[in-house]
């Protein structure tokens, strides 16, 4: 049985937008969310941003750039992160079915991105207690986040979403404590696979995987790093 998390059975309207200023995209999200709450279509925005730091509601002062670099404060969950060229950002504006299950919604986004990584040849996991998609630590290296997720749900409609690092400048994360996590690293598809992987290379596969995950065609599976360690013992 296919288990969709969406309240609508219509196809998701996928929009490939290129590069969009963060504040402009944020306003687009709000406009689309208003339309969705009034009975409009579910939408998935896929885009890149010019370089920008954005802070979720739980961001602490010490996690912001020490040099005073401007930060856009948002109403999403999570803490501070960076967006910029070489990173595919996805904003699903989705009407959720009742009863609302935001955790399950996040798990579906993770599942979609885990599949995209696997199709490229990169093994990724969930880390218990931490959202996003991770490359598990090995040989003394810490877990490394390749995709961040931060969402908000209002009027049963989702805003914000995910960011998957493709071939972005990882040095931009050095000025902050990414997502408020100081004991883990940040990585990209290109860095882990040791070959160029661009945003254009994965746009279509990400769109397909996200739509399949939200509609239940791609089921949520166990990918916890802790479970893998236990099964290997």
Residue-wise pLDDT for 68-121, tens only, equals: 788 999 998 888 889 999 999 999 999 999 999 999 999 999 999 999 999 999
Q: Is residue 67 part of a domain?
A: yes
Q: Is residue 4 part of a domain?
A: no
Q: Is residue 118 part of a domain?
A: yes
Binding residues: 76-83, 148-150, 161-163
Q: Is residue 6 part of a domain?
A: no
Q: Is residue 8 part of a domain?
A: no
Q: What is the pLDDT of residues 11-65, one digit of tens each?
A: 999 999 999 999 999 999 999 999 999 999 999 999 999 999 999 888 888 888 8
Q: What is the dihedral of CA 168, 171, 172, 176, to 10 degrees?
A: 140
The set of catalytic residues is 179
Q: Is residue 75 part of a domain?
A: yes
CATH number at residue 174: 3.30.930.10
- Produce one character per residue of 181-190: b if its CB has 16 or more CB atoms within 10 Å, e if not: beebbbbbbb
Tell me how far apart the terminal alpha carbons of the chain are, to the nearest angstrom: 34
Q: Range of 48's domain? A: 13-232
Q: Is residue 7 part of a domain?
A: no
> How many domains is the chain partitioned into structurally?
1
Strands (E) in the chain, as ranges, are 13-19, 43-48, 52-55, 71-73, 80-83, 87-93, 125-127, 130-135, 144-154, 157-165, 185-186
* CB within 8 Å of 204: residues ≥ 6 apart: none
Binding residues for substrate: 76-83, 148-150, 161-163
Retrieve residue 170's tokens: 């990882």
Beta bridge partners, 127, equal: 130
Q: What is the pLDDT of residues 169-181, one digit of tens each?
A: 999 988 876 655 5
Q: Is residue 119 part of a domain?
A: yes
């Amino acid at each position: 049985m296919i288990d969709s998390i969406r309240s609508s059975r219509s196809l998701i309207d996928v929009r490939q937008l290129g590069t969009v200023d963060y504040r402009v995209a944020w306003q687009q999200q709000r406009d689309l969310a208003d339309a969705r709450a009034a009975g409009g279509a579910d939408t998935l925005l896929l885009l890149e941003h010019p370089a920008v730091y954005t802070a979720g509601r739980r961001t602490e002062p010490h996690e912001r750039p020490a040099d005073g670099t401007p930060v856009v404060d948002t109403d999403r969950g999570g803490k501070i992160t960076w967006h910029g060229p070489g990173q595919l950002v996805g904003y699903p504006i989705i009407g959720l079915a009742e009863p609302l299950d935001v955790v399950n919604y996040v798990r579906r986004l993770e599942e979609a991105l885990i599949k995209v990584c696997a199709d490229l040849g990169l093994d990724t996991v969930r880390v218990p207690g931490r959202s996003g998609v991770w490359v598990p630590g090995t040989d003394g290296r810490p877990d490394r986040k390749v995709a961040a997720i931060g969402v908000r749900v209002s009027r049963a409609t989702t805003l914000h979403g995910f960011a998957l690092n493709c071939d972005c400048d990882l040095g931009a994360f050095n000025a902050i404590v990414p997502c408020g996590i100081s004991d883990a690293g940040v990585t990209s598809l290109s860095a882990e696979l040791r070959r160029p992987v661009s945003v254009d290379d994965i746009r279509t596969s990400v769109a397909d995987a996200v739509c399949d995950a939200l509609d239940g065609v791609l089921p949520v599976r166990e990918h916890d790093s802790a479970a893998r360690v236990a099964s290997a013992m």
